[in-house]
Each structure stands twice: as C-alpha cells, then as structure tokens.
Chain A
Amino acid sequence: MSIDEKLKIRDDLLAGRVPKRVFMQLTFTLEAACGLAGLDLKRAHFDEELRKKAMRSICETFYTDTYPIENIRFPAVYQALRAKNWVMSSTGAMQHPEIESFTPDDYEAYIKNPYATIMESILPKIFAGFDTDRAHASVNLAKAYSLLLQTFGQEGAFEAQVSQEFEYVTGFFVGALCEAPFDFLADQLRGFKGITMDVRRIPDLVEKAAEATLPLMLKLALPRKVNPGHIVFIPLHLAPFMRLPDFERLYWPTFEKLVSGISKAGGASFLFAEVDWTRYIDYLAKLPENTIIKFEDGDAKKIKTAIGGRHIIGGFFDPTITLTHSKEECIDEVKRLLEIGMPGGRFYFAFNRHVIDINSVDVKKLQAVCEYVKENAYY
C-alpha cells in the first residue's frame, strides 16, 4: 500500500468516513526495543546509536502504519534535576513512584495562583536541583531543558529518517500533551493516596483546585495559533478509581471544559481511557464529535454501540495474550474486535497498552497479529 493510500485512510478515519482499511497505530517503548535487539537499556538511554539500533529492530519486526516507538522519559533530564518523580530502575526502566509534593495546606495558595505555587513550592519538593539558590536552580533548569531539546532532536531526526524508509504516516501524537485537570492535581502533586483522602475530606478545595488547573492545561493544549490537524493527547488516569458522584463533581466538569475548549479552538483530542471506562461511556458520548479514544480495557461491544457512531475508537487488544494463547486464538481475538469495531468506520487498531517489555509478548505471534490486520482489515 502506498504512503498516499495510508494518508487517505488516516484522513478518512479522522473525518468520520469509512476508510479503505483499518488504520494501525501500534506502539512499543524503548525498553521493549532494547529487549528485542538484545541491547543494554541503561546504556541505550545515553547512547543515540544504540537507541537507533534498538528502535530500528521494532520497525523491522512489526508492521504498523505509524512510527511505532514512544520514548519520552529521558533519564538525563531527570537526573540533571535530581528528580524524585521519575527514577531509573535497576534494569534501566524509567519508573514513576508515588510522590506527594503538595499537602492539604497548600490548596488555598494553589487555588489563588497555581503557577506561582508550582514554581515556588512544588518544583523544589520534586526536584532537588531546584531546591537550591536561584543561580544554581537556573543553571540546573538550563541544563535539563537543553538535554530535553537535544534528545528530542535526536529522536525526531531518527523518526523522520525511518518514517521515510518504512513509509510511516503521521499518527495521532502530533500536537500537544496535557492532562485532565483532576489528574494533573492527583498524579504528581497530591499523589494517589493524598487525592483519595482529599476527595472525601475536602472536596470543595479539590473542586476549586481542578478549576484553577484548567487554564494551565488549556495553555498546554493550545498553541497561540492552532493549525488544522492539531491533536492533543490526554491520558486519563484516576476516574476509574472514583465513585460516580465524585467523578461527576470533581473530574468530569473541568475535563469536559478542556476537551470542549480544544474543540472550539479547532483542535481534536486523543484520549487514552486507562483501565476501564465502560461505566462512564454516557459521559464520553457527550464530548465533541470525532474525539479519538483509545481504550485499555472495557466492553468493546457496549462501547462501540454507545459511541462508535460519534467518536473514533481503538485499543482493547491486549498483546500479552500472545504468551498464553495459540496464534490462531490470537487472530480469532483480532477478528472478534474487527467485527465489533469496523462497521461504520471510526475504528483503528491499537494495542490496549504500549508493549513495555518484549518478554511480555510472543514476538512471532504478535507479528502474525499485525500482518493479519494489515492484510485483512479491509472494508
């Protein structure tokens, strides 16, 4: 299939038209790439050539329509700031431990001026490199930012090179990244434990803090000039762990305003509904038409029936079943998903989670799954 045909498939999908074939956006991490190539992940983080070799092995092994690697957690950046929120494991994997950088006493200051609170109070608690005098903090910020730009530059150049070689088209990771306001507050400010207590003890403050966070997320989501095709990736975290009344009051209102704000500005949202959002499907149905939603788990049939005529959905396929099922059974699962998702279009094929550890999948069976979709998922 030519690159123009793939682009047409993507265009049709995003416009809500039935495409020629199901679009495929499959993603692996650098960890998985190093595992596949037999390379040392710890060394690869700091060696551009090793990373390229590892990432190329994924491109050569699995078919997909878009660039298949996600590598955004650069240890050099976090180490330059002596970060506590992203740390390297003994294997080289970047991990996010539970942290609390914000106490219940900080709510009032945050609600009044969230950005100043981030700069003055939150950053120094998470990054030892900011918890010093202003001169050294400035130098640390400059070092970390420079490392980020340098590494993103290397990754971008490699992506451009292999995209030409393997004829990848642009996927959905093309615009900006932000979070639902409640998730931003929960993830690295209050932490899972802290926010869970706050939701019950001080919901009024949580509600106001989520409202105060909304402009910060909109600023991340929308550049000064929104170009056509701007897509904002929003991974959704805490909602599946909430009670419905808490979700309705504390999570949904600012999240809906965020997605609607992006839509009104001419952008689209690409949501990753982590865990199971089936019980919130009626809420997702209210979002602007053609919102892209990747589901981790959930009742695919119920979700397709409820929102498949309005939004673009994908995900559901768990690549780790390749370890426990025969090749035929894996392909049967793909067929089942395609039968549910394909009618009427607005469906793309994606793993329900990135492949993080290559040992969590059977490479040959997963190759067969990718080939099956590529060869058979035609309308």
Chain B
Amino acid sequence: MDEKKYYLDYEDFQAEHPEIDPEWREFVEPVVLGADDGLYNFIVGYLLM
C-alpha cells in the first residue's frame, strides 16, 4: 500500500511536495482524495455510514 497516496489535509500534501506551485492547488487537490472535503465527506461520511 502506498502510504503517501492519500492525504487528509492539503497542507500535509503541500509540506511533502513543496515543488508543486500552490497555484496548481485546484488541479492537484481533487486527486489528493481526502484533502477535497466534498469527496472525503462522500466516501467516509456517506458511503461508509
């Protein structure tokens, strides 16, 4: 399992990937599942409840 694939907060992702310009956040965030609150709430708060 790739432990670095999923981040609960975008800030954690950014801290580990300073090379990614914050201006790209809107493109990166949706694929960092969990950092996107809507998808996180859907997966953990709807599908698994």
Contact = CB atoms under 8 A, between A and B. Distances in A.
A264 to B, nearest CB: 18
Nearest to A120: B1
A348 to B, nearest CB: 24
A220 B41 CA distance: 6
Nearest to B38: A145
Interface in B1-23: 1-3, 5-6, 8
Report whether over half of chain A's contact residues are helix, strand or loop; otherwise say mixed.
helix
In the A-B complex, the 10 residue pairs with the closest CB atoms: A220-B45, A116-B6, A115-B6, A113-B3, A120-B1, A188-B48, A115-B34, A145-B42, A119-B6, A116-B1
A36 interface: no
Contacts of A141: 39
A117 B1 contact: yes
Interface residues of A, number: 37
Contacts of B33: 119
A73 to B, nearest CB: 9
A112 interface: yes
Given A219-B40, A223-B37, A109 B45 contact: no
A345 B5 CA distance: 50
Interface in A326-365: none
A115 to B, nearest CB: 5
A112 B3 contact: yes
A216 interface: yes
Contacts of A117: 1
A145 B8 contact: no
27 contacts: A72-B46, A77-B46, A109-B1, A113-B3, A113-B6, A115-B8, A116-B3, A117-B1, A118-B43, A118-B44, A118-B48, A121-B1, A123-B43, A126-B48, A127-B47, A144-B42, A144-B47, A145-B39, A176-B41, A177-B45, A178-B45, A179-B49, A184-B48, A184-B49, A188-B48, A215-B8, A219-B44
A188 B46 CA distance: 11
Contacts of A211: none
A187 interface: yes
Contact of A116 (B2, B43, B45): B2
A224 interface: yes
A122 interface: yes
